[in-house]
Structure 1
Amino acid sequence: MHPGLEVEVILKKDQRSGKLTHGIVATLLTSAAFHSRGIKVKLEDGQVGRVANVIELQ
């Protein structure tokens, strides 16, 4: 996980619904390499959420 990576995150307000938000990682907020609920990141647009999926370029 690193800045610049394209990801889908679950925002705090969307935890119940599981709605995914697409964005680019600006900053890692979780210091550990693994977290049971997902690594917390700040997206380039300022939103904060836990990574659900990493988007891989084909």
Structure 2
Amino acid sequence: MHGRNRNDIYTGLEVAIILKKDQRTGKLTYGIVQDILTSAPYHSRGIKVRLEDGQVGRVAEINVTEED
């Protein structure tokens, strides 16, 4: 599931985000949502969130498990 709708995202949700520095490569970073930073109900590139470890990025996928 893509993270474009704010209603689909909540604190404690496991997500994959794309950090600003990784936008060109599309590298995903996995973590748990601490804060939702985008106030709009929809964003075409993904809702911006802060993970529990402090990293900020746009949600690319929801409810994912990291694959090695």
Question: Is the TM-score greater than 0.5?
Answer: yes
Shorter-normalised TM range: over 0.9
Could you report, residue by residue, the CA deviation over 1:26-46 in whole angstroms, capped at 9, with x for unpaired residues?
000000121011000000000
Given the two structures, how large is their TM-score scaled by the length of structure 1? 0.93
Aligned to 1:53, what secondary structure does the other structure show?
Answer: strand
Following TM superposition, where does structure 1 have runs of at least 4 consecutive aligned residues deviating by more than 6 angstroms?
none
Given the two structures, how large is their TM-score scaled by the length of structure 2? 0.79
Q: Aligned residue for 1:21?
A: 29
Q: Aligned residue for 1:8?
A: 16
Root mean square deviation, CA, Å:
1.4
Residue ranges of structure 2 left out of the alignment (5+ in a row): 1-8
Identical positions, percent: 70
Q: Aligned residue for 1:54?
A: 62
